[in-house]
A and B are shown apart, each in its own frame.
Chain A
Amino acid sequence: AQRVTQPEKLLSVFKGAPVELKCNYSYSGSPELFWYVQYSRQRLQLLLRHISRESIKGFTADLNKGETSFHLKKPFAQEEDSAMYYCALEFNAGNNRKLIWGLGTSLAVNP
C-alpha cells in the first residue's frame, strides 16, 4: 500500500546549523512529491514540489527513487523556519489521483 513516512515527530536544531527533514514513501509507480509547511498561526501552504526542482526559502528536496526518499534540506537553518512540515505523495488510484500525507515533523530552530 502507498505510504508516506516522516520518521521524526520533532526536530530541534540551532540557528545556522544544517537541517534535514526526512520523508520516505512507498509507491511502485512514478510519484509526485510535495512538501507543505504550516507556520504558527498561518495556513498550511505548499513549500515545494519535486517536479519544479526549485529552491524555496533556501530549502531543497531531491527525489531519490532508489531510496524512495524526498528529504527536505537547508544548509543554514533560521529561526523563522520553525514550523510544522508535511510530506505528501500524489499517485494514480484508478481513474483518480490521490494525495496522501505523512504525519508531519515539527521543526524548532533555537537561537
Chain B
Amino acid sequence: DGGITQSPKYLFRKEGQNVTLSCEQNLNHDAMYWYRQDPGQGLRLIYYSQIVNDFQKGDIAEGYSVSREKKESFPLTVTSAQKNPTAFYLCASSRDSRTGELFFGEGSRLTVL
C-alpha cells in the first residue's frame, strides 16, 4: 500500500528533551516536507527537501532540524530550543518540488509536559 507513514502518532516529551518524528514514503517522490498545524493558523512550513542530501528551511525552522540521507526518509527533530513545540506535525511528499500536489501522512501529535 503506497503512501506516507508517520510515527509515532502520539508522543509526549518533557521540557528540555529532543524528540525525533519519523516520516517514510514509498511513492518514489523526490520532494518531502514538514508542516506544523496549529488551530487557527493553518499549515506552516518547517523544512523541505527537494532531493536526497539536500534540505532548506521553511518559514518556521527555528528549533527544528532535519536530515535526508535516503530518498524515502525525512525525519524531523524537535529540539529543546523550540519554544512552543506542542503541536500537530504533518509530513508530506510530492513527485518533485515543482508541483503543489502533495501527499500527506496521518500526522504526529507532540505534547510537551
Contact = CB atoms under 8 A, between A and B. Distances in A.
A82 B100 CA distance: 24
Contact of A43 (B43, B50, B99, B107): B107
Interface stretch (A14-22, A54-62, A93-101): A93-101
A108 interface: no
B2 interface: no
Interface string A34-78: 101000001111100100000000000000000000000000000
Contacts, number: 41
Interface residues of A, number: 20
Contact of B104 (A44, A97, A104): A44
Interface of B: 40-43, 45, 50, 90, 92, 97-107
